[in-house]
Structures are given as structure tokens and as C-alpha cells.
Amino acid sequence: MTNRVTVIGSLNVDTILEIPRLPKPGETLAMHNQSFAGGGKGSNQGIAAGRAGADTHFIGKIGDDTNGQFMINSMKDSGINVDQVTVTKDAKTGQAFILLDDEGQNSILVYGGANQKLNVDDVKNAEATIANSDFIITQFETPMDVAEAAFKTAKANDVVTILNPAPARQAIPASLLAVSDLVVPNETESQTLTGIEITDEASMVKAANKMHDMGAKCVIITVGSKGAFYHTVSGDTGFVDAFKVKAVDTTAAGDTFIGALSSQLNKDMSNLTDAIRFANRASSITVQRMGAHPSIPTLAEIEAAEAAAK
């Protein structure tokens, strides 16, 4: 059965600047290359869900500009329903500027633009879309009150909520976490949220328990090339190792994980470890390619990689 996934979040056009290393303060550094791609944490997660087989809808906002149309086309090309993506004349389409070094690590500067114009009325207009979903995903590149309104609508309709607390913020309303079924931070975001440094599995358990105390039902902490740790409020816990590959660009790896996870996860999370393994496989493909949208794999590619490993 195909999962129905709704993503509410950001749409950005990424400018990727390939550099040997990050420049020091006051330093001028030559670039290897410059390229453009669709991105934004929200749209990355939506495309990852859609390409991995989910029936995916997107709620977001773009500017009245060519970048906005570029993003609409990019989403449609991956089979994403964009009926709930609206246009504002008050801001330009979101953008991100990605500094990518020779080791495949990145630093990202984000212009929120139209993403910050998304509002609670947009959620109300999309109530039927949310109510008809199995899962809804959001992040923090759009306003917090919008995320909470969407999750409350979801919970009123038995829709499973997935919160990616990124970019990291310390002040997250308890009312939002209380309606978050699954919280998926990376280790940095987990530390920002809980104040607990992630150094080993014991610290992950401690951080997860603190998130449970805040209201989260299930926690997955992604740890880059190591894999993903999971912990449920009932005490189920474990670590699913990542697949060993050579990364050339880690952009969208975490977003691919979340989108791919939502495409496979059962609503009761009874197949949590299998869904995490699938998401790890999808992310391992993403990091071997350049860009955000261009790097996100299809279901056929994920299944082929899994078959080749056996």
C-alpha cells in the first residue's frame, strides 16, 4: 500500500559554490565551479518521499519570479502534487548558497524569502490535503506557528507527524513537540534542542528521553556516516548502521533520509528498523552525487543498490 505523505516547508533555489576549503576571515578564495539546483529542506524531503514511492503533496510558498517557477517544475518532474504551493508578491523565492569543500562537507547560507510568508491560512486552505495523509513532515525553514497549526490539524485526523527540528533552534514550543509523533534531528540539532552533547549511545538515550519528556513519542537521531539511532517512548531502542560510501556532497542527505523513511514507514511504526535501513540506503546514494534535488534517488535506484549489496 502506498503511503500518502504531505510535506509543509521550504522551497529554495540552491547556488552551489565548489571550493577547496572554507575561506578564512578576510580571505579571497577561487572557486572550482558554480552550479544551480532545486533545494530547501522541505522540497528535498518531499522529492525524496515522492521518488521513493510515496503519494506526495506539498504545502509551501514561492515568489512571483523565475526561481519560483523553476521550483514548481522541479517538484512536478518528481510527481509531487503542488496544488497547495501559493505565490506571494511580497518576497522572492527562497535561496540557499552552499559552500562545498573538497572533502564533500558543506556550509549553507539561507535566504528565507517567500518561505517566511507561509501562514496559518495556508494550513487552513490545505486541511483536506492534510487530513487525507498518512504522514505529515515539517522543518524550521518556515514559521513555527505554521508547523504547529499543521500538526494540530494532522493529529485531529489521525495523521502521523514527523518533525525535523532543523535548522537547529533552542526555543521550540512545548505545544509543537506535544503533537510530534516522530522527531528526527541530527546530532547537532539534538544537542541544541536538549543541551546534551552526543558522544555515544548512552548520551543518545539521555537526549531521546529528554525529547520524550518534551512530548515526542519516537526519536531518531541521525549521525551522518555512522547511521541512525532510534528510541521510542515505550523503550524500544537501537542503532542502524549507515552504508559505507565515498561522499562527494552531503547536501540533502538528512532530507533524503526523512523523505525516504516516510515512504516506507507503517503508521504504527512497527517496521521502524526496516524503514531506517531503507532511508540509510537512500541517503548513501544521495551523498555520492552533487546537488540537492539532482542527487535524490528513485525507488528503482534504491532497490538496485540494495540488491547489488546482497
Instruction: Classify residue 31: in a domain, yes or no.
Output: no
> 238: which strand partners?
230
Q: Which domain holds residue 304?
A: 4-11+39-92+115-309
Please give the annotated binding residues for ATP, written as ranges. 186, 222-227, 254-255, 280
For residue 19, is it within any domain?
no
Q: Within a domain: residue 102? A: no
**Per-residue pLDDT, 179:** 96
Binding residues for substrate: 12-14, 40-44, 141, 255
In a domain, residue 29? The reply is no
| pLDDT band at residue 227 under the 50/70/90 scheme | very high
- Residue 264: pLDDT band (50, 70, 90) is very high
Residue 20 located in a structural domain: no
Amino acid 103: pLDDT: 84
**CATH for 47:** 3.40.1190.20
Span 84-136, pLDDT tens digits: 999 999 999 999 998 989 887 888 898 999 999 999 999 999 999 999 999 99
| 55 within a domain of the structure (yes/no) | yes
Total of domains in the chain: 1
pLDDT of residue 104: 78
Q: Work out the angle between the directed axes of helices 41-51 and 66-77 (0-180°, nearest 10).
A: 20
Q: What value does the mean pLDDT take over residues 276-282?
A: 98
With a cut of 80, say whether residue 310 has pLDDT above it. Answer: no
Per-residue pLDDT band for 195 (boundaries 50, 70, 90) equals very high
Catalytic site residue from 158, 255, 268, 274:
255
Q: What is the pTM of this model?
A: 0.94
Binding-site residues, in ranges, read 12-14, 40-44, 141, 186, 222-227, 249, 251, 254-255, 280, 286, 289, 291, 295
Q: Is 236 a catalytic residue?
A: no
**Which residues sit in the known binding site for K(+)?**
249, 251, 286, 289, 291, 295
Residue 200 belongs to a domain: yes
Q: Assess if residue 147 is contained within a domain.
A: yes
Q: Which residues pair with 100 in a beta bridge?
A: 18, 106
